Amino acid sequence: MRTATARLWWLHGSPCAGKSVTAWELHTNLLAGEPRAYFDVDQVGMCYPEREDDPDRYALKARSARALARCLVAAGARTVVVSGVLDDASMQALRGEAVHGTDVAFCRVRVDRDELVRRLRARYGPDLAQRALDEAEDADRLDEGHLTVDSGSAPPREVAARAAELLEGARPGSPPPRVDPLPAPPPLPAPDGATAVLLVGPPGAGKSTAGFALFSTLLDDGRPSSFLDLQQVGFLADVPRPADDPGGHRLRAACVAEVWREHRAGGARALVLNGHVRTQGDVAHYRAALGDVTLTVVRLRVGRESLEDRLRERTLGLGPALAGDELVGADADEVQRTVDRALSEQRRLEDEDPADVVVDTDGVDAHAVAEEIAALLGGEPAEDG
């Protein structure tokens, strides 16, 4: 039986303020040795098109985060660290609702205007940079005693230590005030013909890039869809792994099912997954967790030359910026070692063959791969009613 109350620490702030870096530093270093988990709310909120009653998907993100946090706490995490932006109503609702008996505290990461302008201009075009700056200045004006930490010029570890100190002191001494609950969407008609695709393959095969391209293709075809990267659905650390789930896929599948339930209730009819799934037994966990949803497993195959090119790009920080990518900044020797490991994994996947379909990605861009997979799925866009 758990004796200590679990806690959810949520870092929010404007783009480039440093919330993700601070949250990752908390997870990887400051909380090392403690059972913990981390996820970014944007990674569990990719569900489109947006609903008219939730145009920025804040309510959907909050419900998805609540569901995932409950799953991670039930798995043994004492602290769940989250990064990402919500509106005030969703933040207050999460404070007022029980998240598996978890204390919820928010801390805004901010930075002074000149530094924020510099960071925004380095990452975004003028229009997006100005919008983010306006939002940050609005938050400063409306700040009413919320926990706030300045990222400034201090190294991430110092910023994270200050955030931890503030969040530690935020543990409520009494129940939070009653607030309106997170709005729930109306129930869906049944059956709704939902489908799912799981992209597997060795590192560098293009799972993340092709998976997101497939997600975009399905949306363009008129299919309300959601996208989840299995690695990003909760980084769990210092939590004992059950002997009968050595790969952690039973837990990860349960987390996917919790988030998918919210996305499906929000209107999604197709789910795109990608991740390091290696065996038929791994796949079985996802089929069981998704229940009545038809799951198609697609294995992406890649040759050495293409693999080397893609992994070199990742060392430069090109492609999707994902938490936990250990190749960013790696040298040439590490790239070659990763290529060798990836090709060995590809051979093991070919032997085990957990996939329904194999797609070759050599010399083919992600959008072409996505079109091929979408054609394999067939079917017409799902409609409500």
Instruction: List the chain domain ranges.
Output: 7-168, 195-377
The 8-class DSSP code of residue 54 comes to B
In the predicted model, what is the mean pLDDT of residues 6-33?
93
> DSSP E strands: which ranges in 177-320?
195-200, 225-229, 235-237, 270-274, 294-301
200 or 175: whose pLDDT is higher? Answer: 200
End-to-end C-alpha distance for the chain, whole angstroms: 45
CATH (one of 3.20.20.140, 3.40.50.300, 1.10.287.110, 3.50.50.60) for 7-168? 3.40.50.300
Equal CATH topology for 7-168 and 195-377: yes
User: How many whole angstroms separate alpha carbon 7 and alpha carbon 106?
Assistant: 11
Amino acid making up residue 67:
A
Q: How confident is the model at residue 320 (pLDDT cuts 50, 70, 90)?
A: low
Closest of 90, 83, 11, 82 to residue 58, by C-alpha: 90
Q: Quote the pLDDT of residue 158.
A: 96
Q: Please work out, in degrees rounded to the nearest 5, the angle formed at the alpha carbon of residue 84 by the alpha carbons of 81 and 85.
A: 135
Work out whether strand 148-150 and strand 270-274 pair parallel, antiparallel, or are unpaired: unpaired
- What are the tokens at 308? 């080397």
Q: Specify whether the CB–CB gap between 2 and 100 falls below 8 A.
A: no
Q: Which helix (H) or strand (E) holds 214?
A: helix 207-220
363: pLDDT strictly greater than 90: no
Q: Quote the pLDDT of residue 362.
A: 87
User: How many whole angstroms separate alpha carbon 44 and alpha carbon 68?
Assistant: 9
118: pLDDT strictly greater than 80: yes
Q: Specify whether the CB–CB gap between 289 and 257 falls below 8 A.
A: yes
Q: Quote the pLDDT of residue 174.
A: 42
One DSSP character per residue, 121-173 reads HHHS-HHHHHHHHHHHHHHHHH--S--EEE-TTS-HHHHHHHHHHHHHTT--S
User: How many whole angstroms separate alpha carbon 46 and alpha carbon 195?
Assistant: 16
In the predicted model, what is the mean pLDDT of residues 21-35?
96
Note the maximum CA span of the chain. 60
Percent of the chain at pLDDT above 70?
85
User: How many whole angstroms separate alpha carbon 251 and alpha carbon 196?
Assistant: 18
User: How many whole angstroms separate alpha carbon 382 and alpha carbon 385?
Assistant: 10
User: How many whole angstroms separate alpha carbon 307 and alpha carbon 310?
Assistant: 5
Work out whether strand 103-110 and strand 270-274 pair parallel, antiparallel, or are unpaired: unpaired
Sheet with strand 235-237: strands edge to edge? 148-150, 103-110, 7-12, 79-83, 36-40, 235-237
Q: Which helix (H) or strand (E) holds 303?
A: none
Q: Quote the pLDDT of residue 364.
A: 87
In this structure, the chain runs to a length of 385
CATH T-level topology, domain 195-377: Rossmann fold (3.40.50)
- What are the tokens at 289? 């967790």
pLDDT tens sequence across 163-194:
999 999 876 544 444 444 555 554 444 446 79
